[in-house]
Amino acid sequence: MAFSKGYRIYHKLDPPPYSVIVETRNRDECLMFESGAVAVLSAAEKDAIKNTYTKMMDAYGILGVLRLNLGDSMLHSLVVAAGCSSVGKVQDSEVFRVTSTEFVSLKNDPSDEDRIADVRKVLNSGNFYFAWSSSGISMDLSLNPGGYFVETDRQVANFVETEQVIFLDDQVSSFIQIRGSIPLFWEQPGIQVGSHRVKLSRGYEANAPAFERHFSALRRLYGKQVIINLLGMKEGEHMLSKAFQSHLKASEHAGAVKMINFDYHQMVKGGKADKLHSVLKPQLNKFLDDCSFFYYSGETGVTKSQSGTLRTNCLDCLDRTNSVQAYFALEVRHTHSVSHRDFKLMDLYFKKLLCDMNV
């Protein structure tokens, strides 16, 4: 499938304030970033001002807006996918790995570029994907840069809903999993990823209401919940894990939400995943049986529905979480009602796709 840079980025230097607009091939509207805000401009509004802007670059996709509080200043940048490579297909959508990124300062501050080396390294790690179909509709598959983990209200950092969908002739099955950072006010000061300490930034009384709202929202949106906590015994991780357990035990959700603690680094040494099957899965079999997955066929209609989700976390919700979610995605797929031939074909497809994605 042909895929080209479908996003074009312009900026306006004078007169102030500094402004950036982003347009895409398949929409008449565009986005404007100005003075810390973002607005959608209609085609007429865009045409009225576009001649005052200068083209900066083309991009394959927009990954998001990065805001970093650096103490004495705020870094505010638009993150775009400047390079990508195809790794496979899902139905009529082609899956691309992001291979390089560019950062567009939304304050027109050249010094921003010198302060994002670590963030750029994470984003260029090859762990981020998006899908693009022939209809021009795009879907983000993963954007989990990590490094900043503060919950406000009920929203956690690094929250991702992942839906695994399998189409076979007139059969459709779907399984949803979710991930998200520990739902407390916590942080890792600085931007040297991996070298800074974890600290709780607020006390128990300030954490409790946000914790309650978070799980109320999850249960309302997704139904039954079980937590798979992959944090280990390192000083910062252990402290955060104990705080997570204490808040759950004291919350109104304690009786309805179960937490499974699984020290991933200790249990899956050297990449040997046998304990995912022998230790972790047996603790979740009943939940998976009760919550099931969605299944539809043209002959019988909807015969199964999913009524709950696994909520998986490690520290940054990246590698350990990827591994465990991929494991359960493959395990649930084994229960889908398909022919032996189709099952073998799916095995080959999923193993290749997960291998390509380095999961």
Q: Would you say residue 141 has pLDDT above 60?
A: no
Q: Would you say residue 148 has pLDDT above 50?
A: no
CA distances from 154 to 50, 138, 184, 208, 209 (A): 39, 27, 9, 11, 9
- What's the pLDDT tens digit per position in 158-213? 888 888 887 777 888 889 999 999 998 887 765 455 555 788 878 888 888 889 99
Secondary structure, 3-state, 23-92: EECCCCCEEEEECCEEEEECHHHHHHHHHHCEEEEEECEEEEEEEEECCCCEEEEEEEEEEEEEEEEECC
Percent of the chain predicted with pLDDT > 70: 75
- Of 80 and 354, which is predicted with more confidence? 80
List of E strands, 107-205: 129-133, 138-142, 160-168, 171-179, 186-187, 199-200
**Helix, coil or strand: residue 312:** strand
- What's the pLDDT tens digit per position in 303-347? 999 999 999 999 888 889 988 998 998 888 666 544 444 444 444
Using alpha carbons only, what angle is made at residue 334 by residues 328 and 339, rounded to the nearest 5 degrees?
155
Inter-axis angle of helices 319-333 and 340-356, nearest 10: 170
**Helix, coil or strand: residue 178:** strand
List of E strands, 91-157: 93-105, 129-133, 138-142
What is the average pLDDT value for the chain, to the nearest integer? 79
pLDDT for residue 2? 53
Total length of the chain: 359
pLDDT for residue 151? 42
pLDDT for residue 12? 93
pTM for the full model?
0.58
pLDDT-wise least confident of 87-91, 136-140, 210-214:
136-140
**CA 156 to chain CA mean position, Å:** 11
Question: How far is Cα 53 from Cα 32, in angstroms, rounded to an integer?
Answer: 11
